[in-house]
């Protein structure tokens, strides 16, 4: 039996510092070396911070895109970043350089918005997905195209299996498929249809996040169980599948209908899942969940509209990308001079307590 109270006492994080980006960010990740935070934004700029010191130090911004930078993956070897934008551009560049220049660049990797990038565990290939209903596999070394997997609908998320040559894709219609590589054959499907709704003339919901456990046995899909279109309202929901069989192992709700979407997922090395959630303006949270529990063992509602979570390689630090409180979405909020006040993204750095000396059995282990 899972002891959620013991898990909370062991892993409850605390915000240790926050920094504000000038504009809204879509994604933020720790570098594999642990020294940097890299973030892509709505303004097409890539922000970087050096976190080796006591305070995050802003580095020169990187201007390699002309549209929303939503796709980001980082490779340990040679400190390489792969970034993609909503105009379909894919770029490979050295993220630690003061004034980085592209190693390679593809202006038309997709016809339109590239939603996600995923780096294969061996670092040899990257996968991209987009609103052009395609998933594409590329050589990470030179950007050469290797394979295209056509889809019926827009593809929102992708993830590589940690040990097998398999790529998992999830669409805006709640379709989840595992593909074998390099032949590109469909292996199995996972039923996430509850995360999609046709409401009058609208297509509502869809998948927003995906993660595979480190051992590859568990596939987690995050999305909303939508109630209506327009201003989308829905229950933020995680579907936990057995990867090999496709059987739905568990369904976990992470809040009420106004909370809406699980936006990002990450497995901690100790086996629990970290998730960010975002819904109506001002609504969002960070949660920790043991995969054998029906309820999170930790959640905080003090972080507004959380969009991504990234775990530091040391397993003790996290960075959460959020939106400022009092965010402006309709143009009504003006400053004293009558100017529209744009939103920005606070990055919150959190720390998990160190394991007590002589601690007993890991409370995150299955009982």
Helix (H, G, I), strand (E, B) or coil at 11: helix
Query: How far lies 159's CA from each of 135, 137, 174, 264, in Å?
Result: 11, 12, 15, 12
Q: Which pTM was predicted?
A: 0.94
Query: How far lies 77's CA from each of 110, 241, 280, in Å?
Result: 26, 32, 39
The partner residues of 224 in beta bridges, in order of sequence, read 236
Between residues 84 and 172, which one has the greater pLDDT? Answer: 84
Residue of 287, 283, 292 lying closest to 275 (CA atoms): 287
Q: Given this model, what pLDDT does residue 184 score?
A: 97
- Which residues, at least 6 apart from 235, have a Cβ–Cβ distance to it below 8 Å? 224, 225, 227, 253, 255, 256, 257, 259
Helix (H, G, I), strand (E, B) or coil at 322: coil
pLDDT at 367 over 50: no
Ranges of each domain in the chain: 4-351
Q: Given this model, what pLDDT does residue 357 score?
A: 64
Q: What is the pLDDT of residues 220-257, one digit of tens each?
A: 999 999 887 777 789 999 999 999 999 999 999 999 88
Q: Given this model, what pLDDT does residue 257 score?
A: 87
DSSP tag of 129 = E
pLDDT at 347 over 60: yes
Q: Given this model, what pLDDT does residue 232 score?
A: 78
Q: Tell me the CATH class for 4-351.
A: mainly beta
Q: What is the pLDDT of residues 52-108, one digit of tens each?
A: 999 999 999 999 999 999 999 999 988 999 999 999 999 999 999 999 999 999 999
Q: What is the pLDDT of residues 310-319, one digit of tens each?
A: 999 999 999 9
pLDDT at 145 over 80: yes
Q: What is the pLDDT of residues 332-343, one digit of tens each?
A: 778 888 888 888
């Amino acid at each position: 039996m899972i002891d959620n109270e013991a898990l909370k006492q062991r892993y409850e994080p605390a915000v240790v510092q926050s920094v504000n980006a000038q504009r809204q960010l879509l994604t933020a990740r720790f570098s594999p070396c642990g020294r940097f935070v890299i973030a892509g934004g709505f303004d097409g700029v890539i922000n970087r911070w050096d976190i080796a010191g006591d305070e995050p130090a802003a580095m020169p911004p990187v201007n390699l895109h002309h549209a929303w930078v939503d796709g980001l993956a980082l490779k340990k070897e040679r400190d390489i970043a792969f970034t993609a934008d909503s105009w379909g551009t894919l770029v490979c560049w050295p993220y630690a350089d003061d004034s980085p220049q592209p190693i390679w660049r593809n202006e038309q990797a997709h016809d339109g918005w590239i939603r996600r990038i995923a780096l294969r565990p061996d670092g040899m290939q990257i996968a991209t997905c987009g609103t052009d209903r395609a998933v594409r596999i590329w050589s990470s070394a030179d950007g050469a195209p290797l394979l295209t997997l056509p889809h019926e609908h827009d593809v929102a998320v992708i993830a590589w299996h940690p040990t097998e040559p398999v790529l998992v894709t999830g669409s805006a219609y709640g379709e989840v498929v595992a593909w074998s590589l390099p032949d590109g054959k469909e292996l199995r499907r996972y039923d996430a249809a509850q995360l999609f709704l046709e409401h009058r003339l609208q297509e509502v919901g869809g998948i927003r996040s995906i993660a595979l456990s480190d051992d590859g046995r568990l596939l987690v899909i995050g999305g909303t169980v939508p109630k209506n279109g327009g201003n989308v309202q829905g229950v933020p929901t995680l579907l936990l599948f057995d990867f090999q069989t496709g059987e739905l192992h568990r369904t976990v709700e992470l809040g009420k209908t106004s909370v809406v979407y699980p936006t990002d997922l990450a497995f901690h090395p100790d086996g629990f899942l970290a998730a960010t959630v975002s819904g109506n303006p001002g609504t969002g949270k960070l949660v920790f969940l043991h995969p054998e529990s029906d309820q999170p063992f930790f959640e905080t509602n003090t972080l507004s509209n959380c969009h991504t979570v990234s775990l530091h390689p040391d397993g003790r630090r996290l960075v959460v990308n959020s939106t400022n409180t009092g965010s402006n979405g309709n143009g009504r909020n003006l400053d004293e001079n009558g100017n529209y006040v744009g939103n920005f993204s606070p990055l919150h750095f959190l720390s998990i307590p160190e394991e007590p000396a002589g601690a007993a059995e890991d409370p995150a282990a299955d009982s």
